[in-house]
Structure 1
């Protein structure tokens, strides 16, 4: 073996080691490039607004840009499918809301498995709906409305932003729990549903965004009788929870972050910590309060448990009310 041969072999080995080290370092620690946050609804809504603020906070906490990608369509299915089939590397995330847990019962077939195609990262917020009635309604409290509804069950109806929406399912849950048959009247959107209530065309409305009801409540065009979650809302501190009149009634909206199934646990852990820190920021908390929501983070396991429980809960309501979207 000549010195020239040995020297050449050593050079080759050193180059190989250098390339391996460079390849390893080029991967870097997560994240080493921008992250896509998919919102499976259109721009301008409450979820989109919260996602954009969360993206700004996460960008600071993770040291890489987090950008929002709106992919609306089919009750959130279009955007969810995109994320379900994305690489499980933490660089494509999904912000979900209750349609994620109602879709398995509203549609006969989905292009992904709601439980198996995603890995939960964390909850972001808890959202309470508000129960409102026309200003001329004879009911001024939740108990009075229940009595009124029982006496006039088949004569009353309720506004929603569409079949299968959380407001629709919440109202059907109300029907089941108080023994009434108030009729569902779907509208194209919240403005139309609210106009119908104000005019007296409908008799009640579970409003998904508490903040959107504030101007009408303050101007006394409508009356607020209750909030749908167990706890009272900071923006309506004097308004009781509906469960104070209807034991066990609880309709909780929420937003949370999912990643594709198979995303490494270390990546999930880092994202979870960053989300918790982001949600705790004053700017994000302020925005949530304006929307009638509160920051509500969790461990991945806790979020998974909530998803499983809500699939069962709303699945029963959907089946009992015979609701289908396909």
Structure 2
């Protein structure tokens, strides 16, 4: 990522990035992690505090989801969800995700929809505030 390159090169003094992008550079000593933005400390950098430990209530976390076309039959959605969750529950996959700073979140399609709506509402408020509306 260009921001990480600029941090390492000294062109910028600080930045916020997804942990999987920065973790190799943190581990090599090229970058120093000051805080993580999620609700809990990351197992990948357990000695690094959360921003929320200083600024109560602060939480910014990202996730990656899988979507299909709206017309996808429910049986196909259920099968995909079952197989994806089975893969994410595999200890080898969970361990690999943890190595790179990731954390599997096993959810149903309904729970994913709730996450999507919650985060959309949250960030819409931030955008409106930033725009002065």
Q: What TM-score bracket applies, with the shorter chain setting the length?
A: 0.7 to 0.9
Q: CA deviation at 1:219?
A: 4.2
1:205 to 10, 15, 22: 15
| Alignment-derived partner of residue 164 in structure 1 | none
Residues 212 and 308 of structure 1, relative CA distance in 2, 3 Å threshold:
closer
> How does 1:122-271 map onto structure 2 within 5 Å?
190=1, 192-208=2-18, 210-271=19-80
Q: Secondary structure at the match of 2:32?
A: strand
2 CA distance for matches of 1:305 and 1:315? Answer: 15
Q: CA deviation at 1:198?
A: 3.1
Alignment check: 8 A CA contact 2:7 2:13 kept: yes
2 CA distance for matches of 1:295 and 1:262? Answer: 27
Q: Does 1:303 align with 2:112?
A: yes
Q: CA deviation at 1:237?
A: 1.0
Q: Looking at CA atoms only, which structure, 1 or 2, has the larger radius of gyration? A: 1
2 CA distance for matches of 1:270 and 1:241? Answer: 36
Q: Secondary structure at the match of 2:63?
A: strand
Q: CA deviation at 1:243?
A: 1.0
Number of residues paired by the alignment?
131
* Structure 2 unpaired stretches of 5+: none
2 CA distance for matches of 1:211 and 1:268? Answer: 28
Aligned-pair RMSD on alpha carbons? 1.9
Residues 257 and 215 of structure 1, relative CA distance in 2, 3 Å threshold:
closer
Q: Relative CO higher for 1 or 2, CA cutoff 8 Å, sep ≥ 6?
A: 1
- Output one character per residue of 1:84-109: Cα deviation in whole Å (capped at 9) or x when no partner: xxxxxxxxxxxxxxxxxxxxxxxxxx
> How does 1:42-57 map onto structure 2 within 5 Å?
none
* Structure 1 unpaired stretches of 5+: 1-189
TM score, norm. by length of structure 2: 0.84
Alignment check: 8 A CA contact 2:37 2:50 kept: yes
Alignment check: 8 A CA contact 2:23 2:100 kept: no
2 CA distance for matches of 1:320 and 1:247? Answer: 19
